[in-house]
């Protein structure tokens, strides 16, 4: 009787241990970036990033893992996305759920903090914000490969992102096919807006923002315009923001507006078709109620089709936020589980 009771106690303890270890671990690290160092905005070159380690990482010290790099959206950061603070999504819980449901294989997941003075780097490169492309594609990947048990090959690296992060994903994916083999865009922004809002009221409001102190009270669209200008139309001769707006005196400036267009996906993607064809897998989706973004995502899908580039595309019932956690759990993580190489 005692032996039987002891057996069941051991069994329960084993089950409890397995339940605990079925969840991964997260850690927040700092990476110094020479690429971002010296940016005119004065944003710190030491950047935070969160790293998710799968459940077996500690128990299997000789095993190596594929890596999924995730890019957050505008106004967000890695701390919010990974549950270090309360937010509309907790990516760690999403990954743990996908693993427990058998929808995902184990992988390391990494998210850098791309929040800057204007609330988002656009994952772009300029003297004003620093070279975010090099930071993510070279320095971040190099650091993770050097400090974690990754499979340090493009075939085992994926890149995905939401909103501004979706834009960053296609921007970096089509420029660095030697770094990542698979990409997935969730509700990607900034693909075809041109100069953005050019109503007289908005232009006047934007031109009235002339001091750093005014940024605290600036709205979402004002900050998004400043972030885009800092990334795509830098001007080292115009402190304190070191950028050019695409309009002045209530008139659109064609030259500066062209700089915006030259960085928007649907206007430049044709120049990167050969690189996109090097990728093993491409995925993109957007909610039907995510107006503007839904239409632009569909046009990117149609363009990829016209070039006979295989890809996954879906337009689903949803808006910009309300089903993103579900999409990552049921679409994104299974997508990379299928397409990333692993041990």
> Is the same domain home to 178 and 321?
yes
What is the per-residue pLDDT for 305?
98
Find the CATH number of the domain harbouring 41.
3.40.50.1820
Q: How many CB atoms lie within 10 A of CB 122?
A: 26
Instruction: In whole angstroms, give the CA distance from residue 259 to residue 246.
Output: 8
Q: Return the structure tokens found at 223.
A: 């900050």
> Is the same domain home to 80 and 111?
yes
Task: State the residue range of the domain holding 246.
Answer: 200-259
Closest by CA position to 231, among listed 41, 83, 82, 94: 41
Helix (H, G, I), strand (E, B) or coil at 186: strand
Q: Return the structure tokens found at 117.
A: 């003075």
With respect to residue 5, please indicate whether it lies within any of the assigned structural domains.
no
Closest by CA position to 278, among listed 132, 166, 159, 155: 155
> Is the same domain home to 120 and 31?
yes
> Is the same domain home to 36 and 153?
yes
With respect to residue 8, please indicate whether it lies within any of the assigned structural domains.
no
With respect to residue 149, please indicate whether it lies within any of the assigned structural domains.
yes
Q: Give me the number of domains the chain comprises.
A: 2
> Is the same domain home to 181 and 324?
yes
Can you say whether the dihedral through the CA atoms of 309, 69, 145, 114 is positive or negative?
positive
Instruction: In whole angstroms, give the CA distance from residue 17 to residue 119.
Output: 41
What is the per-residue pLDDT for 117?
96
Q: Return the structure tokens found at 230.
A: 């800092």
With respect to residue 7, please indicate whether it lies within any of the assigned structural domains.
no
With respect to residue 11, please indicate whether it lies within any of the assigned structural domains.
no
With respect to residue 3, please indicate whether it lies within any of the assigned structural domains.
no
For residue range 45-66, what is the model confidence (pLDDT) as tens digits? 999 999 999 999 999 999 999 9
- β-pair type (247-248, 251-252): antiparallel
Q: What are the DSSP calls for 220-271, one per residue?
A: HHHHHHHHHHHHHSB-TTSTTTTB--SEETTEE-HHHHHHHHTTSHHHHGGG
> Is the same domain home to 123 and 143?
yes
Is residue 94 within 8 A of residue 136, CB to CB? The reply is no
> Is the same domain home to 50 and 95?
yes
Dihedral angle of Cα 8, 10, 16, 21, to the nearest 10 degrees: -140
The size of the chain, in residues, is 343
Is residue 91 within 8 A of residue 57, CB to CB? The reply is no
- Could you report the average pLDDT of every consecutive run of 10 residues in the chain (343 residues)? 42 38 91 98 97 97 97 98 97 98 97 98 98 98 98 98 98 98 98 91 95 95 97 98 96 96 97 98 98 96 98 98 98 98 76
For residue range 302-312, what is the model confidence (pLDDT) as tens digits? 999 999 999 99
CA distances from 2 to 6, 7, 16, 203 (A): 6, 9, 21, 80
> Is the same domain home to 224 and 276?
no
Cβ neighbours of residue 75 closer than 8 Å, sequence gap 6 or more: 115, 119, 120, 220, 223
> Is the same domain home to 77 and 217?
no
What is the per-residue pLDDT for 195?
87
Exposure string for 219-245, b = 16+ CB within 10 A, e = fewer: eeebbbbbbbbbbbbbbeeeeebbbbb
Helix (H, G, I), strand (E, B) or coil at 198: coil
> Is the same domain home to 220 and 326?
no
> Is the same domain home to 102 and 183?
yes
For residue range 204-245, what is the model confidence (pLDDT) as tens digits? 999 999 999 999 999 999 999 999 999 999 999 999 999 999
What is the per-residue pLDDT for 343?
67
With respect to residue 177, please indicate whether it lies within any of the assigned structural domains.
yes
Name the phi and psi angles at 52, rounded to 5: -95, 125
With respect to residue 178, please indicate whether it lies within any of the assigned structural domains.
yes
> Is the same domain home to 186 and 205?
no
- The residue from 259, 281, 308 where one domain ends is 259
């Amino acid at each position: 009787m005692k032996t039987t009771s002891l057996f069941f106690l051991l069994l329960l303890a084993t089950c409890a241990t397995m339940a605990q270890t079925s969840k991964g671990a997260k850690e927040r690290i700092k990476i110094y970036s020479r690429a971002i160092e010296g940016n005119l905005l004065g944003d710190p070159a030491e950047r935070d990033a969160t790293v998710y380690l799968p459940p077996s990482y500690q128990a299997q010290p000789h095993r190596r893992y594929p890596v999924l790099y995730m890019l957050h959206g505008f106004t967000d950061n890695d701390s919010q996305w990974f549950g270090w603070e309360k937010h509309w999504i907790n990516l760690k819980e999403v990954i743990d759920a996908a693993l427990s449901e058998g929808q995902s294989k184990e992988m390391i997941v990494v998210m850098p903090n791309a929040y800057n003075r204007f609330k988002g780097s656009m994952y772009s490169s300029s003297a004003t914000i620093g070279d975010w492309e090099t930071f993510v594609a070279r320095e971040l990947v190099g650091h993770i490969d050097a400090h974690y048990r990754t499979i340090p090959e493009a075939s085992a690296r994926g890149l995905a992102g939401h909103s501004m992060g979706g834009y960053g994903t296609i921007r970096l994916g089509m420029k660095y096919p030697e770094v990542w083999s698979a990409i997935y865009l969730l509700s990607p922004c900034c693909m075809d807006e041109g100069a953005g809002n050019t109503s007289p009221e908005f232009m006047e409001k934007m031109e009235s923002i002339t001091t750093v102190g005014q940024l605290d009270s600036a709205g979402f669209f004002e900050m998004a315009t400043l972030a885009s200008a800092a990334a795509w139309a830098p001007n080292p001769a115009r402190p304190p923001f070191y950028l050019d707006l695409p309009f002045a005196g209530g008139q659109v400036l064609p030259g500066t507006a062209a700089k915006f267009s030259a960085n928007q996906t649907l206007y430049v993607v044709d120049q990167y078709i050969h690189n996109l064809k090097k990728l093993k897998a491409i995925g993109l989706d957007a909610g039907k109620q995510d107006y503007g973004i839904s239409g632009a995502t569909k046009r990117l899908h149609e363009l990829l089709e016209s070039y006979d580039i295989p890809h996954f595309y879906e337009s689903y019932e949803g808006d910009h936020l309300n089903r993103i956690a579900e999409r990552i759990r049921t679409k994104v993580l299974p997508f990379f589980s299928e397409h990333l190489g692993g041990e």
